[in-house]
Structure 1
Amino acid sequence: MQRKGDLEESPRARTNVFEMLRQLCWKGSGAVALGWGFYVLFLVLSTHPCWESSDCWAALFIGSQGATKFAATQTIRSSGKTSSGSATGLEHIVFGIAASADKWKWRKEYIDLWWKQGKNRGFVWLDRETSEPWPVNSPPFKISEDTSRFKFTHPNGYRSAIRISRIVSETFRLGLPDVRWFVMGDDDTVFFTENLVKVLGKYDHNQYYYIGSNSECAEQNMVHSFSMAYGGGGFAISYPLAKALARIQDECLDRYSSLYGSDQRVHACLAELGVPLTKEPGFHQVDLHGKLLGILAAHPLTPLVSLHHLDVVAPLFPNMSRVEALQHLMKAVKADPDRVVQQSMCYDRRRNWTLSVSWGYSVQIYGRIMLPRLLEYPLETFKFWMGWARFPFVFNTRPLSQDPCQNPSVLYMETMNDSGSPEIFSSYTRQAEVGEKSCNATVNNPEEIKRVRIVSHKIIVDWRQAPRRQCCDLVSSGKSDIEISIRNCREGESMSPP
């Protein structure tokens, strides 16, 4: 027989059940709330802009002043680094210099200007051995492989284009250690190696990169290609791309037997690999005649990496041989490679003059106000290589005037006082040039200025950042001399004329 307690639940039992249910619900909702909180926190943090910048986290945790110091430290540590974790240096670059035994005797003097024995790596690639002993201070040489098995059908070209086009592949097959970049150039190419390192340091050498620039002449690019790096100006190929090129090039070459030059053939094979040209305007093919004053006085805001065809243009400085003029320019390169031929603009407001400085090379003084936009256009002190194009150059230019008073008075770098301190003093003087017409104005004539002195501080530019010209101040303006100071522009500062 059942008892009443077995059939009816006591009030106390019901209370215990309700308490247990309440606690379970509370614990369950707490777990859900906790999980939801973690999920929201994850969404906030994973989409926060601080993930894109270590400076942001620094500002959150250590304040804005600490963040500024932190950012400066990080900039120094990361400058020029790639995914391999170390900065690209000259030791990571191997040069392949295209040369011939017949011309080596005359061309070697250009290579001697920039080759650093014991620091540079690379080879001069010849068609055969030279008749004279090889200079001990020159790069070592290699003899190119026989290329007679390849087809060559261009009616006006030279078979040597095939040999030269294979220099990067042959250099790769040497198996040199710790190579990041293969740089190709001619025996009359002058490289500014400090700036070359800076430019290549912008890119990840573990990726497929083909870096160089076009010809200055439109018709040359129309005939050959606007998408090709010109070999005389030099070009760089990253290690993995050189590996891929070496694998396919011999098979590729016969498909392009009708092309004219070696650089065309390299470009064609790289196109089959799907790799475009990455343009760096500091590589200069110099398909020009005449004086390079216009080009170098209004150089693009980019490091000067190379110059080519130096046998066919006038010496860079008046009253010097070509080699002497280049040796003179190298004084500025040694003192401050980042700044060399970088343009700054300022005004003599009292005289209404315009001064355009190409640091380490020249100062141009106009007897009137010239706008910065126009000063960026090179004066046509040069002529195009050959051809018929109505617009012969691939950049804007300004014609020289028949009236010498409308042209600038030009002063060239004379001395470069690099004592090793951060402050650098350079002076620029007028030098009589053969055939130069003088301005006969008797009032406010810029040709009265015989010397310009420039004070600057050595700069180390991170060329991966947005470029900006430096500003200059007119310190003093006398009857026959001027002093200028060049410095970083202030935030929001403009070069507006008076």
Structure 2
Amino acid sequence: MEIVDPSEQYHHRYDTELKHLAFGIAASSNLWGTRKEYIKAWWRPNETRGVVWVDKRVKSYRNENLPPIRVSQDTSRFKYTNTQGSRSALRITRVVSETLKLGMKDVRWFVMRDDDTVFIVNNVVRVLSKYDHTQFYYVGSASESHIQNIFFSYSMAYGGGGFAISYPLAEELSKMQDKCIQRYPGLYGSDDRIQACMAELGVPLTRELGFHQYDVYGDLLGLLGAHPVTPLVSLHHLDVVEPIFPGMKRAKAIKHLLEAAEQDSASLMQQSICYDPKRYWSISVSWGYVVQILRGVMSPRELEMPSRTFLNWYKRADYTAYAFNTRPVERHPCQTSFIFYMGKVKFDRTRRQTIGVYFRRKSKSSRCRWRMASPEKLDSVVILKKRDDQRWQKVQ
């Protein structure tokens, strides 16, 4: 076995395409009626390949935009001693191996996820194209909650956010996984069992920040409005957080976001920071999602930190319990953000650029005594940009 240091091949890209990916989706029959709507939002018939694995048969209808649905194998022979968890973790742990055994042709990567996770599939391909699929790779990311990472592991790819395993590694995992599962009856979930097996195989986690577990509650505005400079790959816990676009149901809000992804998936959620020197405004653009305008000049170092519009997974924990830097939500009446959510995005063939219109979220604002122009007078913001499918190749 040869483990390649990602830094040694960071500049190289492989010819991986969407057809080379097999998605394994762990689903619950009890929640299927709601969760399948998230899958419909991102699944592409005749383009994406994969299987939904459920604990027992669920109702299916013709012409639904869904992958094939299969019932997982029985796992009653495995020990499970964690008093706080659920035996379903054993079933979900084996999704990788069961998907492998289906014998799909020309698969390079197995991409695992939960049924309440949405993928930006083009960005999954962009990220995995950085790595040699003939080597052993285990790609994903950790939790946003420092406490979660302490309880489980900073070396673990969280299953809700999704993770990818290269084909040769999936083959090795399949050979030893059942025995590996038996050695860890006290673990809580499926993802920590996968990581335990990865540790036995000697394969470390390759972290990609675009996989999002989102172990948080509340409004994702602060996180998504200051997304790290990396392709947005996944969004998890959509049933827990508020709809990403206010006033919409959760599934509809996701479909609305994916309308922007259809126009320029490489740029989705990528933050740009600029200033209006005449009005003394600071402007943060999260493309395809939101524009935020603040009075005064705030440094890029501050604007790239997520504002705490959300709460920790552990409700007693304060802001020091995140695994990243944050900044408080501004309370001063003159420093609150004016928020413009994406209304529509289209591609102008004549100009060869995307045109995005962002509409202000109307809310009561306290009177500001500063003698300067107010963004409150704006109803919408128009963002023009050139589409660039190769932006991540150029950066690297």
How does the TM-score come out when normalised to structure 2?
Answer: 0.93
The change in CA–CA distance for 1:265 and 1:134 in structure 2 (over 3 A counts) is farther
Partner of 1:460: 389
- Alignment of 1:349 with 2:261, yes or no, is no
Partner of 1:406: 335
Partner of 1:101: 29
SS state at 2:25 partner:
strand
Partner of residue 424 from structure 1, selected from 354, 361, 366: 354
Q: Deviation per CA, 1:4-52, whole angstroms, max 9, x where unpaired? A: xxxxxxxxxxxxxxxxxxxxxxxxxxxxxxxxxxxxxxxxxxxxxxxxx
Q: Hey, what's the Cα distance between the residues in 1 that align with 2:68 and 2:57?
A: 12
Aligned length: 383
Partner of 2:224: 296
Q: Hey, what's the Cα distance between the residues in 2 that align with 1:317 and 1:287?
A: 19
Partner of 2:189: 261
SS state at 1:125 partner:
strand
Q: Hey, what's the Cα distance between the residues in 2 that align with 1:136 and 1:321?
A: 20
Q: Hey, what's the Cα distance between the residues in 2 that align with 1:453 and 1:431?
A: 15
Partner of 2:13: 80
Q: CA deviation at 1:101?
A: 1.6
- 2:23, 2:112 within 8 Å by CA — same for their partners in 1? yes
SS state at 2:238 partner:
coil
- 2:138, 2:166 within 8 Å by CA — same for their partners in 1? yes
- 1:165, 1:266 within 8 Å by CA — same for their partners in 2? yes
Q: Deviation per CA, 1:260-306, whole angstroms, max 9, x where unpaired? A: 00000001001100001000000000111111111111000000000
Q: Hey, what's the Cα distance between the residues in 1 that align with 2:174 and 2:322?
A: 34
- 2:344, 2:356 within 8 Å by CA — same for their partners in 1? yes
Q: Hey, what's the Cα distance between the residues in 1 that align with 2:337 and 2:328?
A: 12
Which of the two has greater helix per residue? 1
AA at the equivalent of 1:306: S
The change in CA–CA distance for 1:385 and 1:151 in structure 2 (over 3 A counts) is same
Q: Deviation per CA, 1:404-452, whole angstroms, max 9, x where unpaired? A: 32221111111212245631111111122xxx54142264222222211
- 1:346, 1:356 within 8 Å by CA — same for their partners in 2? yes
- 1:297, 1:341 within 8 Å by CA — same for their partners in 2? yes
The change in CA–CA distance for 1:424 and 1:392 in structure 2 (over 3 A counts) is same
Q: Hey, what's the Cα distance between the residues in 1 that align with 2:333 and 2:39?
A: 37
The change in CA–CA distance for 1:133 and 1:335 in structure 2 (over 3 A counts) is closer
Partner of residue 374 from structure 2, selected from 428, 445, 460: 445
- 2:273, 2:283 within 8 Å by CA — same for their partners in 1? yes
SS state at 1:424 partner:
strand
Partner of 2:137: 209
- 2:272, 2:285 within 8 Å by CA — same for their partners in 1? yes
- 2:123, 2:232 within 8 Å by CA — same for their partners in 1? yes
AA at the equivalent of 1:219: I
Q: Hey, what's the Cα distance between the residues in 1 that align with 2:135 and 2:185?
A: 29
Partner of 2:79: 151
SS state at 1:319 partner:
coil
Partner of 1:187: 115
SS state at 1:418 partner:
strand
SS state at 1:199 partner:
helix
Partner of 2:6: none
Q: Hey, what's the Cα distance between the residues in 1 that align with 2:134 and 2:12?
A: 17
Partner of 1:393: 322
Q: Hey, what's the Cα distance between the residues in 2 that align with 1:288 and 1:437?
A: 26
How does the TM-score come out when normalised to structure 1?
Answer: 0.74
Q: CA deviation at 1:133?
A: 4.7
SS state at 1:365 partner:
strand
Q: CA deviation at 1:462?
A: 5.0
Partner of 1:38: none
Q: Hey, what's the Cα distance between the residues in 1 that align with 2:69 and 2:60?
A: 13
Q: Deviation per CA, 1:112-152, whole angstroms, max 9, x where unpaired? A: 00000111100000111114557643110111111111110
AA at the equivalent of 1:305: V
In structure 2, runs of 5+ residues without a counterpart are 1-10
The change in CA–CA distance for 1:278 and 1:232 in structure 2 (over 3 A counts) is same
In structure 1, runs of 5+ residues without a counterpart are 1-77, 82-86, 468-498
Larger Rg: 1
Q: Hey, what's the Cα distance between the residues in 1 that align with 2:194 and 2:83?
A: 19
Q: Hey, what's the Cα distance between the residues in 1 that align with 2:349 and 2:33?
A: 35
Q: CA deviation at 1:387?
A: 5.2
- 2:160, 2:237 within 8 Å by CA — same for their partners in 1? yes
Q: CA deviation at 1:194?
A: 0.5
Q: Deviation per CA, 1:319-350, whole angstroms, max 9, x where unpaired? A: 21112211111111011111111111111111
Partner of 1:318: 246
AA at the equivalent of 1:431: R
AA at the equivalent of 2:88: S
Q: Hey, what's the Cα distance between the residues in 2 that align with 1:318 and 1:159?
A: 36
Percent of aligned positions that are identical: 52
SS state at 1:96 partner:
strand
The change in CA–CA distance for 1:451 and 1:137 in structure 2 (over 3 A counts) is closer
- 2:226, 2:304 within 8 Å by CA — same for their partners in 1? yes
AA at the equivalent of 2:356: S
AA at the equivalent of 1:406: Q
AA at the equivalent of 1:322: R
| Greater RCO (Cα-Cα under 8 Å, separation 6 or more) | 2
Q: Hey, what's the Cα distance between the residues in 1 that align with 2:60 and 2:105?
A: 31
- Alignment of 1:130 with 2:130, yes or no, is no
- 1:218, 1:389 within 8 Å by CA — same for their partners in 2? no
Q: Hey, what's the Cα distance between the residues in 1 that align with 2:144 and 2:96?
A: 24
